[in-house]
Amino acid sequence: MSQVITPSAAPAAALGRPRRDIGIKRRYAAERRFRAYGIAAILFGLVFLFILLWSVVSKGYTAFQQTMITVPIEFSEQLIDPKNERASNPQKLLTANYPVLARNAVAKVLGVAETDRTAMRDVGLMLSDSVRSQLRDLVVADPSIIGKTQPVRLLASGDLDSAFKGQINLSVSENNRKISDRQVGWMNQLSEKGVLAKHFNTGIFFNGASSRPEAAGVGVALIGSFYMMLIVLVLALPIGVAASIYLEEFAPKNRFTDLIEVNINNLAAVPSIVYGLLGLAVFINFMGLPRSASLIGGLVLTLMTLPTIIIATRAALKAVPPSIRAAALGLGASKMQTIFHHVLPLAMPGILTGTIIGLAHALGETAPLLLIGMVAFVANYPTTPLDPSTALPVQIYMWANEAERAFVERTSGAIIILLLFLIVMNVGAILLRRRFERRW
């Protein structure tokens, strides 16, 4: 810009007359300040984007590793089934005291005497409660294992896991933390022997809800989210495309279509929680569909995503040049044939991009799902969309409300998984647009 202003000042200086002060300096300073504000604003946004991502990743990456203790476990008949009645009473194998097996095995490695009851209790607390079901499943699957000794990889308790990852401040007085100095000593001892180590945590992907952080995972939530996305895709894409075709290609300009248009624009801006209320009142209260089912979640998210898809599809249809339509019509195609055979295929990349972005939006939506009862403790995989389930963002919400330190790590881990899905979807949309975008 300086070129524009300097010429008027330069001749004056050349003539040697004193320069009239027109505040150039002040104005340039203002210009620089203004510019700095702009840069500062952008930096502010970017810095917080970075802090947000960093805080999630730094808290969450450890959730993908889990402390495990691998010890040889003696499936002693004495403890599991002392009276040898498992053939007559299958219940016996289900109710046996399995945690003792694990505890004894770890105590043996540590050299703790089985008679020292407080020490044994502390050893037991180092293991997750889930060892019970883990060992039970092993024995029930193969009862011949009883009497043998086999190495098993056991989950360490959530507190021990946090301590091993260095998340518990060990300088705090022993009474104020959940893990004692003796347990820390044992932990280091086990770690030196290579018995205790961090392994990749597959549980976080496959396990269902659990009140124990070390055994909690997003498996159920992933399936619930998957069902919902499927329902949204199956319902919202055809309905959205059909609605946009009608509005863009067939609708006469009248009051009714005007009304629909204003409506769609407004629906796109209605707060998502209102859709939750709609789902609660219509699908659950009025139609009597089961609460917490991913079917209802899918229907609510469909209604929420429809305006997005319709707006994107209309833009894509509008971008197809009229010459294509004219050519098809000129060759004798009916209006319907023109649209379905020529216009729609050309608009498809744009439609799909809009759909993926709408789906990504629906995947991260939480508020409406809270209202239709997806805040549920579901430990078993849902087999149909009518079974109770949760969704990934709702799982995050539930974990965020848990107090334990280990759940903060889980929550961040789940957020990382959610963000990864979103990144994949958005990158997919961008690639799709790059690959197929046409300029007419």
Q: Which of residues 159-218 bind other proteins (CB under 8 A)?
A: none
Tell me the CA distances in angstroms from 415 to 54, 60, 227, 259, 392, one per residue in order.
Answer: 12, 8, 19, 40, 8
The residue from 5, 94, 327, 431 that contacts other proteins (CB under 8 A) is: 5
For other proteins, how many residues bind (rule: CB under 8 A)?
A: 90
19 is a site residue for other proteins (CB under 8 A): no
52 is a site residue for other proteins (CB under 8 A): yes
Q: Which of residues 348-387 bind other proteins (CB under 8 A)?
A: 360-361, 363-367, 370-371, 373, 375
- Name which of 112 and 378 has its Cβ closer to other proteins: 378
The residue from 44, 200, 206, 377 that contacts other proteins (CB under 8 A) is: 44
- Name which of 31 and 137 has its Cβ closer to other proteins: 31
- Name which of 46 and 230 has its Cβ closer to other proteins: 46
The residue from 320, 328, 359, 415 that contacts other proteins (CB under 8 A) is: 415
- Name which of 184 and 273 has its Cβ closer to other proteins: 273
267 is a site residue for other proteins (CB under 8 A): yes
Q: Which of residues 244-263 bind other proteins (CB under 8 A)?
A: 244-247, 250-251, 259-260, 262-263
Q: Which one-letter amino acid corresponds to residue 404?
A: E
- Name which of 64 and 138 has its Cβ closer to other proteins: 64
Query: Shortest approach of other proteins to residue 44 CB, angstroms?
Result: 5
Query: Shortest approach of other proteins to residue 68 CB, angstroms?
Result: 26
Stretch that binds other proteins, among 13-21, 134-142, 162-170, 394-402 (CB under 8 A): 394-402
Q: Which one-letter amino acid corresponds to residue 416?
A: I
289 is a site residue for other proteins (CB under 8 A): no
- Name which of 162 and 411 has its Cβ closer to other proteins: 411
68 is a site residue for other proteins (CB under 8 A): no
Query: Shortest approach of other proteins to residue 139 CB, angstroms?
Result: 23
- Name which of 145 and 235 has its Cβ closer to other proteins: 235
The residue from 123, 231, 356, 408 that contacts other proteins (CB under 8 A) is: 408
Q: Which of residues 300-339 bind other proteins (CB under 8 A)?
A: 303, 306-307, 310, 334, 336
The residue from 39, 87, 172, 403 that contacts other proteins (CB under 8 A) is: 39
The residue from 79, 346, 419, 432 that contacts other proteins (CB under 8 A) is: 419
SS (H, E, C) the chain: CHHHHHHHHHHHHHCCCCCCCCCHHHHHHHHHHHHHHHHHHHHHHHHHHHHHHHHHHHHHHHHHEEEEEEEEEECCHHHHCCCCCCCCCCHHHHHCCHHHHHHHHHHHHHCCCCCCHHHHHHHHHCECCCHHHHHHHHHHHCHHHCCCEEEEEEEECHHHHHHHCCCCCCCCCHHHCCCCHHHHHHHHHHHHHCCEEEEECCHHHHCCCCCCHHHCCCHHHHHHHHHHHHHHHHHHHHHHHHHHHHHHHHCCCCHHHHHHHHHHHHHCCCCHHHHHHHHHHHHHHHCCCCCCEHHHHHHHHHHHHHHHHHHHHHHHHHHCCHHHHHHHHHCCCCHHHHHHHHHHHHHHHHHHHHHHHHHHHHHCCCHHHHHCCCCCCCCCCCCCCCCECCCHHHHHHHHHCCCCHHHHHHHHHHHHHHHHHHHHHHHHHHHHHHHHCCCC
8 is a site residue for other proteins (CB under 8 A): yes
